Structure 1
Amino acid sequence: MGNESPEKFADRDLLFDFYAELLTEHQRHIFEAVAFLDCSLSEVAREAGISRQGVSDLVRRTEEQLYAYERKLHMAEKFRAEQRIARELLRLSEAESGEALLPEIRKLANELMQLTAR
Structure 2
Amino acid sequence: MLEKTTRVNLLCDFYAPLLTEKQRSMLELYFHEDWSLGEIAAEYEVSRQAVFEAIKRAQGVLEETESHLMLLDKHQKRRRITGEIAEAVSSDPELKLKITPLLEELLQLD
Distance in 2 between residues matched to 1:107 and 1:47, nearest whole Å:
46
Match for 1:104: what amino acid? K
Q: Which residues of 2 match residues 1-118 of structure 1 at below 5 A? A: 4=1, 6-96=2-92, 101-113=95-107, 115=108
Q: Report the CA distance between 1:101 and its aligned residue.
A: 4.3
Structure 1, residues 31-82: CA drift from partner, whole Å, max 9, x if none?
1111111112112112112111100111111112111110011110111111
Distance in 1 between residues matched to 2:35 and 2:54, nearest whole Å:
14
Distance in 1 between residues matched to 2:78 and 2:26, nearest whole Å:
31
Distance in 2 between residues matched to 1:101 and 1:30, nearest whole Å:
47
How many residue pairs align between the two structures?
A: 110
Distance in 1 between residues matched to 2:29 and 2:96, nearest whole Å:
46
TM-score (norm 2): 0.87
Match for 1:108: what amino acid? L
Structure 1, residues 83-118: CA drift from partner, whole Å, max 9, x if none?
112111211220248xx64432222123223x057x
Distance in 1 between residues matched to 2:109 and 2:33, nearest whole Å:
25
SS in 1 for 2:65: helix
Gaps of 5+ in 1: none
Contact kept in structure 2, 1:30 and 1:55, CA below 8 Å = yes
Distance in 1 between residues matched to 2:27 and 2:6, nearest whole Å:
15
